[in-house]
Amino acid sequence: MGISFRGLSSRRIVIAVALGLVAGVVGLRAFNGGGPSGGSCPASDAALARLKPLATGEVAALQVENRASPLAELAFLSPEGKPLSLSDFRGRTVLLNLWATWCVPCRAEMPALDALQEKLGGENFEVIAVNIDTRNPDNALQWLKDNGIARLAPYSDPKAKIFQTLRADGKAFGMPTTVLVDRNGCALGHLAGAAEWASDDAVALVRAAIGG
């Protein structure tokens, strides 16, 4: 059935056409599965169901996502200073942690993150701890060395853009910030503040994510 514009002013015709275009775009997005998460995280729903009862004890503050969604591209630097992004780790479950030397809770949880990497790190999982010191980034390397943090690769983002991106996505509110990401780059949960990541609670949670 066609649309008749008889009797409408040119202004109303423009508005009607615009509304029609918007409706068409919305319909097309719905047909294709909706927004960013639509159809992009097919294997994640089962993982979310496994994780929700495990977000308890030492990791009770983890906010398990109601629906898994692909993260925006997150860029940072390798230990050698080369550009990396989270997509370079596809195929591996990731615990992404943002920290800084000026952040007391960040420093407090680094040994636990280091221990988690020792327990579970490998071809299926990695703790990616990204330092976001914007002044004197070399301080982070010295701090890791001085405190015996030997298993975490010294990733960095001296412009702290990764934090801004996560904040815009509603997954970063302060420091430290941690996001649990599945092997397809889909966010499973996020946590604001420090946690005891080497605890039995945390290990069980991460193992459930890896098994998804």
Residue 6's pLDDT band, with cuts at 50, 70 and 90, is: low
CA–CA gap between residue 11 and residue 27 (Å, rounded): 24
User: Mean pLDDT in the chain?
Assistant: 84
Show Cβ contacts of residue 171 under 8 Å, excluding neighbours closer than 6 positions. Answer: 71, 177, 179, 187, 190
Q: Could you tell me if 98 and 175 are in contact, meaning their C-beta atoms sit under 8 angstroms apart?
A: yes
Say what the pTM is.
0.81
Amino acid at 203: V
pLDDT by residue (tens digit) across 161-207? 999 999 999 999 899 999 999 999 999 999 999 999 999 999 999 99
pLDDT higher at 148 or 20? 148
What are 123-133's pLDDT values in tens digits?
A: 999 999 999 99
Instruction: Give the pLDDT band (50/70/90) at residue 212.
Output: low
- Greater confidence (166 vs 18) lies with 166
Amino acid at 47: A
pLDDT value at residue 48:
93
Cis peptide before 176 (omega within 30 of 0): yes
Nearest-angstrom CA–CA distance, 109 and 163:
18
pLDDT range class, residue 14, cuts 50, 70, 90: very low
Q: What are phi and psi of 179, to 5 degrees?
A: -130, 130
pLDDT for 45 equals 82
Higher pLDDT, 181 or 7: 181
What are the angstrom distances between the C-alpha of 165 and each of 24, 102, 180, 183?
29, 20, 16, 20
Distance (Å, rounded) from C-alpha 168 to C-alpha 189?
16
Q: What number is the average pLDDT over the span 146-164? A: 96
